[in-house]
Structure formats: C-alpha cells, structure tokens
Amino acid sequence: MLRWAVHLEGGPRRVNHAAVAVGHKVYSFGGYCSGEDYETLRQIDVHVFNAVSLRWIKLPPVWTNSRDQVREVPYMRYGHSAVLIDDIVYIWGGRNDTEGACNVLYAFDVNTHKWFTPKVSGMVPGARDGHSACVLAKSMFIFGGYEQLADCFSNDIHKLDTTNMMWTLISAKGTPARWRDFHSATIIGTKMYVFGGRADRFGPFHSNNEIYCNRIKVFDTETNSWLDSPPTPVLPEGRRSHSAFSYNGELYVFGGYNARLNRHFHDLWKFNPVSLSWRKIEPKGKGPCPRRRQCCCRVGDKIILFGGTSPSPEEGMGDEFDLMDHSDLYILDFSPSLKTLCKLAVIQYSLDQSCLPHDIRWELSAMTTNSTISRPIVSSQG
C-alpha cells in the first residue's frame, strides 16, 4: 500500500541541492535559497535528517587556519551531484555565482565528517552543472550536464573507478542519448536508465528551441552500448529537474518542470524495465505540491523527498521568476507497518488518542493525512 505517510515543515530551505542516504540518515549538501548570498565564497553546508527521530541537524563548519586544508572543503554550490561508495560521499560538479562551474572531486567521510580531495588521474570531465551521477559497484558514472568551457549541453559518459581514482571517457556504441541537462540517471542491475532533462531541438548548443525528453534511454554498462527502446503507448510529459529512484527493480519518477508547457508536476510514474512500459501511480495520503529541483533518497522501504521550488501562490512571494522555495519534507512509504496504519487511522477518523502509549501519541504528530508537524533545525550539539 504505497502512501505519503509523513509531512514535516521547518527543515533546510534548499533548491538544486544533492543528497545521499546512509543507513537511516540522509545527508544533504549545498544547494541555494532565494535571497541568500552566493557570490561570497563559503563552505558548503551539510544538513543531516534522521529518518527514525524525524529530526534535522546542521553539521558545524570545518574550522582551519591552513589554506591547503580549506581547499579540501568544497565551496557552496548548486546543480552538483553526490553519491555514496563505502561510507564516502563523492561530491562532483555544480556551480557558484562567483567561481562558475567546478570539476574538482571532493570526498566526505560519513564516519568522521571530514573532507578531503582524492588524487585522481585519467580524463577528468569538464566543469559542469545539471549532470547526473549514479553508482555501480565501486564506480561512479557521470552523464550529460551543461559544460561551462564548451558552453553547451553534453551527452558524454565519464566513469570514475574509485578503486584507483581514475577517470575514463567511455566510448559508447549505439545511438547516444540526446545532449541534455537536469535529467535523471538511475542504475537498475547493470543498466543506466536516463529520463527527462532539457535539450535543444537542433543540437548541443542552447537556443530558444528547448525540448523536454520523455522517452527512456538505456545504457548497458557491460557492453558500453546505448540500447534501442521500442516506443510505448503511455508516456509521462517531458520534464527536467525531477526526482528518480529505483525500488524492487523498477524506476519511479516524481515531479519536475516543463518550460514549454510552463508547468510544474507532482505526479508519480513507474517504469518497468522488463516490459518497457510506464504506469501512473496514485499513492494514498496527501503528497507534495508541484515542484522541481527537490532531492529524493531511499531509506529502506521509504522515500525521503525534501526541498525544491514551486510557483509562488501570491505575487511578490517568490524570486525574480516568481518561485517559492520549500523547507518541507515528505516520506513516501512503500510498506507501511501496522503501527503506521493504526496511527493514520486514528488521525483520519479522529479517534481518541488518550488510550495510546505516550511514544505512539508523540509519533502521531508526525503522521499526516490532513496535518503537518513543524520541526526546526537544531544545532549539532543538541
């Protein structure tokens, strides 16, 4: 029974951030918020969400007097990627309003909360943002994005083997996916499934002829080949800046934005890689409003979705594009426990809570059908 089970307010207000799940915690790195200063260089911020206690903390900045050590910590950025390999989070790409795009590889140890910059070799990808990053075994695959130096979209695939820290530009066979940015790429088995993104009708250079891809492109990592996929009768609208994740061998896509339609989405679609078919999913409960540039991480049978931006409901409430940035968080539960379903029933049918144990009454405040809970960020010291 797929259900939007939890809705929290008061988390970090972030857009175009990057996040990974580590056990029952979600680590969120960087991003931006309308109105904040992104011209002054400062350390990237790190927020941690505990999916058990439903609390956010913000890690303290790294204090050091050494210029060399300062370089080990990435500056604040957006449009970057984050992946987890063996308790190390690798941050790559993204941009800042002062420094532009970046192609330095940064590493964050989730056990010590220390940053370092691994020494890499090989063909390092050009600095970019809006790319995708996904992991298979000990390797990170980077696809697409908007390259700063070339000033165009990319459709290259770069691979970083973390066993020897060597970058490789993959010479892919077959018909490649179109040049694009702000798409998603998800590993299922040994294949990478690319969906959505912003592209140009006529080639890699950005013009006034934007298109939004809505067909899956599949890359086989074993043969280094782009595979041909037959057309399907049902397709989601093309979009960019959406979320994608895999669960039980299937691909899910949520939200995003299509500028040609001037439309933000909050729909949920499922793609079956065996039948190569799409199906729209309607979870129970009240889900997020239409949005883009949010983060989405899987923790067991739960999907943690937070942040992003949406059209402002009132004039003057958004930024120069009339957008409103979010500080909320939703949990999509694929397998709600009996305890969770009981709490939802109490809320839905306004049952008497006084007979329930204290811990369940407290947890009820975090469950939503028509209610929300406000939990402010607390410091890492308490």
Residue 38 lies in a domain: yes
For residue 22, which of 87, 115, 91, 81 has the smallest C-alpha distance?
Answer: 87
Contacts of 343-351 with CB under 8 Å at 24 or more apart are 343/367, 344/3, 344/5, 344/285, 344/369, 347/371
Contacts (Cβ under 8 Å, ≥6 apart) of 58: 12, 45, 46, 47, 48, 377, 379, 380
Task: Supply the pLDDT for residue 336.
Answer: 80
Q: Which residues does residue 359 pair with via DSSP β-bridges, in sequence order?
A: none
Task: Supply the pLDDT for residue 374.
Answer: 42
Residue 377 lies in a domain: no
Residue 326 lies in a domain: yes
**Sequential DSSP letters for 192-226:** EEEE--EEETTBSS--S-EEE--S-EEEETTTTEE
Residue 85 lies in a domain: yes
**CATH number of the CATH domain containing 349:** 2.120.10.80
Q: Convert the pLDDT of each residue in 9-62 to its tens digit.
A: 999 999 999 999 999 999 999 999 988 887 788 999 999 999 999 999 999 988
Q: Is beta strand 210-212 parallel, antiparallel or unpaired with respect to 198-200?
A: antiparallel
What is the pTM (predicted TM-score) of this model? 0.89
Q: Is beta strand 378-379 parallel, antiparallel or unpaired with respect to 55-58?
A: parallel
**Sequential DSSP letters for 129-193:** ES-EEEEETTEEEEE--EETTTTEEB--EEEEETTTTEEEE---BSSPPPSBBS-EEEEETTEEE
Residue 153 lies in a domain: yes
The amino acid at residue 112 is T
Q: Convert the pLDDT of each residue in 229-286 to its tens digit.
A: 888 889 999 999 999 999 999 999 999 999 999 999 999 999 999 999 999 999 999 9
Q: How far apart are CA 342 and CA 337, in angstroms?
A: 9
Task: Supply the pLDDT for residue 230.
Answer: 84
Q: How far apart are CA 20 and CA 118, in angstroms?
A: 19
Q: What is the span of the domain harbouring residue 316? A: 3-368
Q: Strands of 25-29's sheet, edge to edge?
A: 18-22, 25-29, 46-50, 55-58, 378-379
Residue 82 lies in a domain: yes
Residue with tokens 């990170």: 140
The total number of structural domains in the chain stands at: 1
C-alpha neighbours within 13 Å on the C-beta side of residue 172: 20
| Residue ranges for the chain with pLDDT beneath 70 | 64-70, 314-321, 338-382
Q: Is the dihedral of CA 153, 160, 296, 224 positive or negative?
A: positive
Contacts (Cβ under 8 Å, ≥6 apart) of 312: 318, 322, 323, 324
Residue 84 lies in a domain: yes
Task: Supply the pLDDT for residue 368.
Answer: 45
Q: How far apart are CA 249 and CA 271, in angstroms?
A: 10
Residue 379 lies in a domain: no
